[in-house]
């Protein structure tokens, strides 16, 4: 029903008040031809209008007018809708990894990522819906970029064109029939892969039965597509039964290890092809305490129920070889074909890609890259060795892989640039005291020293106006923007200065290249930090940040003075608590309150041991 007719119907039924919220007020009012008696508000006003309507007597209606984000993405793929010029990028040095942008946008393209300086957030460009709602996150790390006119945003493809006849055929004769389960995330093309297979089978005169169980793309819901391909006319319809799967194609390992899916696997007959890419859930995006499960455990859960398992990081291969992660599922299809468990030919699959008509050349290449990767290594170990290096699979804080002295030296150097040599020496002295105390109880353990080195640095390098300016000028970040979007791309930072916020300014400022001069001035003024001339230092949040440093140093002295082998684990847990102090302004204030409660509880436990 058209929006205007729906509203007329509601008025006729005696509704007291109607509000329409939308992502584009002008478009909604113009297209729906709404009268002046209908209130149309930006989606940013949705919660405010909900609260207002709650106080209105009688029946009230709130209508949200916005096209489904997943549908927008599909239309853009097919050229049926224009794509915005701008892209959103996060400066990860400025980012605190607090998750507020995920809360504000409710978007799974806002993904957590591990970096040298801890958990941060990145915008997953391949799945981004380009509605820019993440910019509402209370954080100065966001940058919008207009790419070069001839630049395809993302990573430049690195692979040469692969010819189909250069890839060896799969081992053995192809089967006459197969039962296949494809598992992934809603809105990423899982159903399309099933349709490609069904089309290819039909082209070769085979019969197909399929069943798609779709999830909510916005929530990262699981999608399951079951296919039964056979030369027989009669195929029993419905889902795959227990231990009946011949080929298990998993693009999301979290969904792939769901017990419901694992039941269809068989040690006798199932070949599994699994992507090791980390696709976070909605809870992981907004809850900084949640970590992605170890892929080795998920791989084992699948491999124990399969006759053979092939593993590869399809997202990373698609990004680095083809320039876009959108091709990862077709790449997975190529790897699945190369296992020899598909009852269709590669020629038929490539003809099905032609029929689909979307980005034909790169989808052909994705299919062949997957074949080539699987042909090169048909075991988990070989596939992992042959795959491109996964730059995000290593959490920097993994103490078994981090050299403590390198960690300290890197942070000392950064604190010198942050403030001064004297400031860095305070850090170095405190960490050396912790190291010495830990050596007294154990020559082998460095857990406490590593935790102290990480989190004293985190608290000392708090991100005030001077530090945001310094990190905004980071040459590494600028070179990464040039690599992804072109040397002539235009970048705009989005800032909400605390002083202007205090004066009542509600929205962020969008600042172009001209503001670089102001950043240089602010960076040069960082030597004033903490002095009587530090105008920014008088605000509540800055006084709190300076106080947290002193609090933490006192805590470290307390635990090291009474450190024993019995309370060592509790001391490490206390030293790691500042990891939860994330975000800016109110987000940070809330996290500090939580941190102080946790410190009090653990110190009480420490004293009792």
pLDDT in tens, 404-433: 999 999 999 999 999 999 999 999 999 999
97 and 241 together in one domain:
no
Alpha helices, DSSP H only, in 2-45? 3-12, 25-32
226 and 208 together in one domain:
yes
Domain that holds residue 12: 3-66
β 271-275/207-213 pair status: unpaired
CA distance 571 to 606: 7
SS3 89: strand
Residue 380: per-residue pLDDT: 41
Q: What percent of the chain has pLDDT over 90?
A: 64
- Sequence-distant (6+) residues with CB within 8 A of 585 are 138, 498, 501, 541
Asked whether residue 457 is assigned to any structural domain, the reply reads yes
Q: Which pTM value belongs to this model?
A: 0.82
141 and 270 together in one domain:
no
Q: Taking phi first (over 0 means left), then psi (-120 to 50 degrees means alpha), and beta for anything else, what does residue 130 get?
A: left
* pLDDT tens sequence across 210-226: 999 886 655 567 899 99
User: At residue 392, does pLDDT exceed 60?
Assistant: no
Asked whether residue 431 is assigned to any structural domain, the reply reads yes
Average pLDDT over the chain, rounded to whole?
88
Question: How many distinct structural domains can be found in the chain?
Answer: 4
Residue 523: per-residue pLDDT: 96
Residue 151: per-residue pLDDT: 65
* pLDDT tens sequence across 268-301: 999 999 999 988 887 887 787 788 888 999 999 9
Q: What percent of the chain has pLDDT over 70?
A: 92
Angle between helices 328-338 and 360-376 (to 10 degrees): 40
Tokens in use for 163? 């010819």
The domain that contains 274 carries what CATH number? 3.40.920.10
405 and 369 together in one domain:
no
Asked whether residue 164 is assigned to any structural domain, the reply reads no
User: At residue 387, does pLDDT exceed 50?
Assistant: no
Asked whether residue 372 is assigned to any structural domain, the reply reads yes
Sorting pLDDT into bands at 50, 70 and 90, what band is 552?
very high
322 and 428 together in one domain:
no
Asked whether residue 309 is assigned to any structural domain, the reply reads yes
Mean pLDDT along residues 579-587: 95
The last residue of one of the domains, among 386, 415, 439, is: 386
User: At residue 104, does pLDDT exceed 80?
Assistant: yes
Sorting pLDDT into bands at 50, 70 and 90, what band is 383?
very low
Residue 396: per-residue pLDDT: 36
Residue 400: per-residue pLDDT: 39
Asked whether residue 357 is assigned to any structural domain, the reply reads yes
For 382-404, the DSSP string reads HHHHHSPP-TTSS-TT-GGG--H
CA distance 199 to 213: 19
425 and 305 together in one domain:
no
Residue 320: per-residue pLDDT: 86
Sorting pLDDT into bands at 50, 70 and 90, what band is 507?
confident
Asked whether residue 531 is assigned to any structural domain, the reply reads no
75 and 58 together in one domain:
no
- Sequence-distant (6+) residues with CB within 8 A of 78 are 358
CA distance 201 to 297: 34
Mean pLDDT along residues 92-96: 96
238 and 377 together in one domain:
yes
Sorting pLDDT into bands at 50, 70 and 90, what band is 156?
low
133 and 198 together in one domain:
no
User: At residue 154, does pLDDT exceed 60?
Assistant: no
61 and 104 together in one domain:
no
Residue 596: per-residue pLDDT: 97
27 and 84 together in one domain:
no
Residue 158: per-residue pLDDT: 55
Asked whether residue 589 is assigned to any structural domain, the reply reads yes
Q: What is the dihedral of CA 446, 451, 457, 460, to 10 degrees?
A: -130
302 and 352 together in one domain:
yes
Tokens in use for 112? 């957590």
Do 162 and 365 meet the contact criterion of CB atoms below 8 Å apart? Answer: yes
Residue 71: per-residue pLDDT: 79
Mean pLDDT along residues 16-37: 82
């Amino acid at each position: 029903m058209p929006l205007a007719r729906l509203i007329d119907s509601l008025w006729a039924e005696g509704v007291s008040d109607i509000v329409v919220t939308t992502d584009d007020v002008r478009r909604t009012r113009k297209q729906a031809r709404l009268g002046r008696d209908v209130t149309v508000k930006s989606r940013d006003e949705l919660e405010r209008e909900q609260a207002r309507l709650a106080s209105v007597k009688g029946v009230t209606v709130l209508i949200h007018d916005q096209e489904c984000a997943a549908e927008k993405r599909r239309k853009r793929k097919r050229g049926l809708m224009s794509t915005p010029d701008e892209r959103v990028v996060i400066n990860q040095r400025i980012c605190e990894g607090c998750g507020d942008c995920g809360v504000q946008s409710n978007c799974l393209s806002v993904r957590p990522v591990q970096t040298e300086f801890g958990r941060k957030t990145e915008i997953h460009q391949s799945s981004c819906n380009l509605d820019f709602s993440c910019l509402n996150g209370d954080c100065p790390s966001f940058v919008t970029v207009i790419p070069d006119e001839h630049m395809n945003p993302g990573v430049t493809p690195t692979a040469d064109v692969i010819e189909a006849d250069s890839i060896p055929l799969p081992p053995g004769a192809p089967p006459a029939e197969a039962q296949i389960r494809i598992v992934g995330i809603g809105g990423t093309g899982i159903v399309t892969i099933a349709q490609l297979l069904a089309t290819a089978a039909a082209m070769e005169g085979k019969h197909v039965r399929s069943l798609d169980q779709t999830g909510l793309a916005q929530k990262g819901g699981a999608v399951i597509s079951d296919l039964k391909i056979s030369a027989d006319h009669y195929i029993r319809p419905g889902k795959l039964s227990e231990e009946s799967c011949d080929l298990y194609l998993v693009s999301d390992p979290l969904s792939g290890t769901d017990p419901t899916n694992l039941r269809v696997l068989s040690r006798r007959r199932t070949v599994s092809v699994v992507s090791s890419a980390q696709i976070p859930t909605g809870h992981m995006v907004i809850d900084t305490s949640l970590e992605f499960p170890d892929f080795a455990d998920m791989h084992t859960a699948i491999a124990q129920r399969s006759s053979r398992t092939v593993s590869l990081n399809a997202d990373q291969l698609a990004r680095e070889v083809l320039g876009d992660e959108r091709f990862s599922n077709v790449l997975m299809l190529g790897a699945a074909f190369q296992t020899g468990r598909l009852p269709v030919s590669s020629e038929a699959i490539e003809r099905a890609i032609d029929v689909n008509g979307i980005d034909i050349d790169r989808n052909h290449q994705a299919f062949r890259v997957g074949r080539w990767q699987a042909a090169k290594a048909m075991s988990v170990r070989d596939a992992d060795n042959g795959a491109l290096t996964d730059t995000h699979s290593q959490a920097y804080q993994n103490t078994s892989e981090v050299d403590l002295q390198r960690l300290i030296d890197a942070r000392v150097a950064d604190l010198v640039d942050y403030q001064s040599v004297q400031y860095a020496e305070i850090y170095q002295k405190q960490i050396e005291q912790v190291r010495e105390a830990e050596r007294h109880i154990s020559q082998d353990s460095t857990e406490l020293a590593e935790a102290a080195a990480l989190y004293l640095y985190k608290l000392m390098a708090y991100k005030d106006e001077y530090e945001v300016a310094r990190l905004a000028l980071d040459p590494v970040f600028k070179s990464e923007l040039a690599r992804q979007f072109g040397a002539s791309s235009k970048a705009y930072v989005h800032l909400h200065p605390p002083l202007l916020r205090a004066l009542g300014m509600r929205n962020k400022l969008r600042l172009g290249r001209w503001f670089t001069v102001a950043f240089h001035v602010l960076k040069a003024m960082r030597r004033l930090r903490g002095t009587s001339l530090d105008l920014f230092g008088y605000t509540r949040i800055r006084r709190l940040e300076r106080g947290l440093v002193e609090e933490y140093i006192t805590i470290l002295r307390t635990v090291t003075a009474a450190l024993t082998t019995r309370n060592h684990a509790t001391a490490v847990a206390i030293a790691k608590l500042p990891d939860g102090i994330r975000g800016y302004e109110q987000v940070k204030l809330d996290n500090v309150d939580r941190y102080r409660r946790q410190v009090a509880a653990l110190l009480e436990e420490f004293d009792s041991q």
